Structure 1
Amino acid sequence: MEPQRAVLLIADISGYTEYMSTHRMSLAHAEVNTARMLDKMIDAAPGYDLIEIEGDAAFLSRPAGPGGTTSADEATVAEILDVAAWMHSAFHREREYVAKNLCPCSGCKEATNLKLKFVAHVGDVATQTIRQRRKLVGIDVILVHRLLKNPVNIPEYVLMSEELYRLADPGLADKVHEITPDLEGLGQVRAFYLDVHTLEARQPALAAPSWPGRLGRTFSAAGKGMPYILGLRRPRVRTP
């Protein structure tokens, strides 16, 4: 298939390895709770297709221009930052609800230690379908994944490739910081990041969960975690 221009966005949950406790009950609840957070994040990204769940991360994409056009100039940074803000807000709202259920296990109570970071890029991709699963391939797909390993020293951020940052409004320059990571197989590249907390999500304040709501979420985590406890399902792992 002929390559197409696309926006590539990875939302990556930080602290996942430590969160996935070795205790079987905690592990089961951690897996269920992480799935709930990922679901809420994906729902908060209208117009984006979920390409794959990669363990603790969601890999999403959309055509670079409205209506499937291939103009990279129309892939505005402002829109991507809005989506990152909505996803970040949805993640934290669900994370707080998880931590406030009535289950005392570490898989529930330690959810507050999780953070969320984003890597975004615009580039050329091709589509492959293998056993009815759609995958994106190409050097730009590799690049956006390689950028997950970077020297950014704040826990929650949006990191943009140089190609994407070039499309940004010049007024964004005062908010971003430049890094030049040396990526495996790709060499040194320029990238730009900003603190995700500087973005406005425009969502209502989190309502305090009711006791029935907390109880319902507790039973939900217990029920959905049972297949992991029984060994019928295994936790997700990140795709290499």
Structure 2
Amino acid sequence: MASYSTLICIPDISGFTRFMSDTNIELSAKVIPALLNEIIYANEIGLRVSEIEGDAVLFFKKGELPPFKELINQCKLFFTQFYKQLDVLSKKYSQEKGIDNVPDLGLKIILHFGEKVESVQIGNHIKLMGEDVIIAHRLLKNDIKEDEYLLISEHLLNQYKDKVIERNFGWGELLNEEEQYKHIGDINYSYVKMHKLLE
């Protein structure tokens, strides 16, 4: 077991539970894997997949961080490719089966950085462990009143010098927030709403 400085990225499908309960298993077994595959294939900065977590992909990258702009562009690509595929699937299944609830799905992305993330080899997979992995997953449970957003932990932002952090991306601006989690304490983060990208 070894510890590394690690970038953690979790694209997570919003509305997954509602979609699964409202949709027959045959359709959901086609739609969700197709969307998760689109996210995985959109990876252009060398992120590695640790796990597929039902409605999310746990990506990680050890060592040196990518440039901030490159990281933001990667997340933007995750969003745009996800919604392109969602549109394709929505049209396909609404025509074939009269389904109209596929568009209720959305995407949120969590970015975090851990200085002591442990990785364990289990079969052909790398299992990530450590407090920072827990923090990244806890950040999925927050008070943001949006279904589509990019959330970046303060600890990750602190790894970049202020001069390279563009808080206004043209299609959205980073807003500051804070959450308090049991056994962890206060976690500061910034987030940007993604709805303008969908326009």
Q: Tell whether the structures are fold-level matches, with TM greater than 0.5.
A: yes
- Alignment partner of 1:171 is 2:166: yes
Give the counterpart of 1:148 among 140, 144, 154: 140
Q: CA deviation at 1:22?
A: 5.6
Residue 132 to residue 44, structure 1, CA distance change in 2 (3 Å): closer
Corresponding position of 1:104: 97
Can you list the C-alpha shifts for 1:181-215, whole angstroms capped at 9, x where unaligned? 11232111111101234569xxxxxxxxxxxxxxx
For residues 90 and 173 of structure 1, the distance between their equivalents in structure 2, rounded to whole angstroms, comes to: 22
Corresponding position of 2:178: 180
- Number of residue pairs matched by the alignment: 188
Residue 27 to residue 188, structure 1, CA distance change in 2 (3 Å): same
Q: How does 1:64-143 map to 2 (within 5 A)?
A: 64-65=63-64, 74-101=65-92, 102-106=95-99, 109-123=100-114, 124-143=116-135
Corresponding position of 1:208: none
Q: Which runs of 5+ in 1 are unaligned?
A: 66-73, 201-240
- Partner of 1:189: helix, strand, or coil? strand
- State the percentage of identical aligned residues: 27
For residues 173 and 85 of structure 1, the distance between their equivalents in structure 2, rounded to whole angstroms, comes to: 14
For residues 189 and 43 of structure 2, the distance between their equivalents in structure 1, rounded to whole angstroms, comes to: 23
Give the counterpart of 1:159 among 151, 170, 177: 151
RMSD after superposition? 2.1
Residue 113 to residue 22, structure 1, CA distance change in 2 (3 Å): closer
For residues 39 and 118 of structure 1, the distance between their equivalents in structure 2, rounded to whole angstroms, comes to: 15
For residues 111 and 60 of structure 2, the distance between their equivalents in structure 1, rounded to whole angstroms, comes to: 10
Larger Rg over CA atoms: 1
Residue 187 to residue 173, structure 1, CA distance change in 2 (3 Å): farther
Q: CA deviation at 1:177?
A: 1.0
TM-score, normalised to structure 2, is 0.86
TM-score, normalised to structure 1, is 0.72
Residue 173 to residue 182, structure 1, CA distance change in 2 (3 Å): farther
Corresponding position of 1:221: none
Corresponding position of 2:8: 8
Residue 193 to residue 27, structure 1, CA distance change in 2 (3 Å): same
Check conservation: 1:146, 1:184, Cα contact below 8 A. no
Aligned partner letter, 1:104: K
Q: Which runs of 5+ in 2 are unaligned?
A: none
For residues 141 and 57 of structure 2, the distance between their equivalents in structure 1, rounded to whole angstroms, comes to: 16
Check conservation: 1:160, 1:191, Cα contact below 8 A. yes
